[in-house]
Structure 1
Amino acid sequence: MTETVQWELSGFGDEIDADPRVQAAVMRALGASHIEVRSAWGTNIVDLSEDQLAELKSVLDEAGLKVSAIASPIGKVDVELPVEHEVERLDRALRAAEVLGAPYIRIFSFYYEGKKAEDVRDAVIERMTALARRAEGTGVTLVHENEKDIFGDVPERVLDIVETVNSPALKLAWDPANFVQVGVKPFSEAYEMLRPHVVYLQVKDAVSSSKKVVPAGEGDGEVLTTVEALRDSGYTGFASLEPHLAYAYETGGFSGPYSFGVAARAFAKVTEAAGVVAR
């Protein structure tokens, strides 16, 4: 009999509700052991005060939830801003990770509207290197998300970033929906290239023709194939639900408790088919 593979289920709490108590209650009801923190009480994680961080820690402890990642907005700014701009914001994300006990911080690789990717490549690498160097030695790993419209939105540029920076503090988060939305077939065109650097799975799917985000397994994100491949490669990390089923905006998205549950059940069908238990 094949041994069941177990992953840690997490999710973006602010896709459920602004109130972290509601976030925690829903995540626990879904059987999750962790939560990913992007905002609480309507305030982004990098803008929470020390008192708010302490209160958030208390709420999550009371619910028996650990934090899988700080879903920061670091790198979701124009590449022309000074290097120090995002390094300073990373300091606040690192503080949040310290208080909440998060092993990962999600980051991005900069907008460059009106410019060519090749023309901003050196500036992006300079900034990503500075962020990685700041994180080194903290015990926290930065995970780059392949968000659309940033420099690292297609597989080749994602690989360029992580291999050029070449830091133990910079790895990759895998987001299949974002790849679909930039015309990439995630598993077919990116998995083999990027798998050596992938340490975190974000769960959302999308339809290639409309770019609409849909529950996992219902779009063109090749989610089941990817989950099976991750399973076979020995992946035992986090699977973090980021459904975006109600609406999305520049710094995040929202689903609400009901749609978040729909997303969780859809992913459970995928993991069951793959022989993986996520909880």
Structure 2
Amino acid sequence: MVSSTQVTWQLSGFGDEIDDDPAVQIAVLQALGANHIEVRSAWGTNIVDLSDEQLQSLATLLAEKGMKVSAIASPIGKVDVTLPVRHEVERLRRAVNATTVLGAKYIRIFSFYYGGSVQVESIRDDVMERMRALADVAEEAGVILLHENEKDIFGDVPDRVLDIIQTVNSPALKVAWDAANFVQVGVKPFDEGYAKLRPHLEYLQVKDALFENGHVVPAGEGDGDVLRTVEALKDDGYEGFASLEPHLAGAHGLGGFSGPTAFGIAARAFAKVTAEAGVQTA
């Protein structure tokens, strides 16, 4: 049932799930009605590894096409927690530089891997030290870090995500909501996470998954409570980004891929969800 009051969210998407070439990324996203792109890589190179010349070329291309950047989808925090604090601080500074060149204010980050034989509780202090250091850089730079819940990192379930946010207690550290990732660690996203994390939820990543096998599926076709979440966000007054991250053709440690056709399938599936919830995207 469509709500009587409509709101508009900004539609974005992970361009490198479409193609390595940012020109193709932009063309497909614009054909699907998006005016923003989330930049994880371009020309096959991760955002924190792009040269100054490549960053400037990307900025020029985006400007020519009238495309804006919703977020820098960095790999910061997708490393083992035993690495020195400075390792990710230095990489974050490169991501901050990308926000300056590309005109973004958000940087997606993670909260560190740990070995399979390590008890998660034993790394809490190390995680908090690193997340605080990252937040310090963000505060100084005037950008906002978006912590993405992800399997195999400290902040994989709602309680630990909330622990990070409350412990670091920084205006520069917020939550990026990923329903599929919650499903893949056995969490019922809406029932077990929404109320806890909504006060800190700043950004919506759009993908869904099945409890049965963890497979990623188009939004609304899995167990990620995507429709309920969209309806609740709308009722709560959310007015931010919804960023498509379909992962329909494959996934790996630093991201995933869909290709133009599957990306379109994902976009149309999410459009069905937003139409039912009474949310417009632009």
Q: State whether TM-score is above 0.5.
A: yes
1:209 maps to a residue whose letter is: E
Alignment of 1:230-241 (within 5 A): 230-241=233-244
Alignment of 1:1-279 (within 5 A): 2-113=4-115, 114-279=117-282
Does the aligned pair in 2 maintain the 1:28–1:63 contact within 8 Å?
no
2:71 maps to a residue whose letter is: A
Name the SS for the 1:110 alignment partner: coil
1:226 maps to a residue whose letter is: T
Q: Deviations over 1:2-29 (max 9, x none)?
A: 4420000000000000000000000110
1:25 maps to a residue whose letter is: A
Does the aligned pair in 2 maintain the 1:144–1:173 contact within 8 Å?
yes
Shift of 1:278: 1.3
2:246 maps to a residue whose letter is: P
CA distance in 2, matches of 1:119, 1:138: 31
CA distance in 2, matches of 1:3, 1:100: 34
1:274 maps to a residue whose letter is: A
1:173 maps to a residue whose letter is: A
Shift of 1:233: 0.5
1:83 maps to a residue whose letter is: V
Q: Deviations over 1:66-116 (max 9, x none)?
A: 000000000000000000000000000000011001110000000011211
Name stretches of at least 5 consecutive residues in structure 2 with no aligned partner.
none
Q: Deviations over 1:180-219 (max 9, x none)?
A: 0000000010000010000000000000011000000000
TM-score (norm 1): 0.99
Task: Show structure 1 runs of 4+ deviating over 4 A.
Answer: none
1:275 maps to a residue whose letter is: G
Does the aligned pair in 2 maintain the 1:38–1:45 contact within 8 Å?
yes
Shift of 1:33: 1.0
CA distance in 2, matches of 1:190, 1:270: 20
1:28 maps to a residue whose letter is: Q
Name stretches of at least 5 consecutive residues in structure 1 with no aligned partner.
none
Shift of 1:63: 1.3
CA distance in 1, matches of 2:27, 2:61: 10
CA distance in 2, matches of 1:213, 1:59: 31
- Backbone CA RMSD of aligned residues: 0.8
Name the SS for the 2:141 alignment partner: coil
CA distance in 2, matches of 1:98, 1:219: 37
2:161 maps to a residue whose letter is: V
Give identity over the alignment, percent. Answer: 71
The alignment covers a number of residue pairs equal to: 279
Shift of 1:137: 3.4
CA distance in 2, matches of 1:2, 1:262: 27
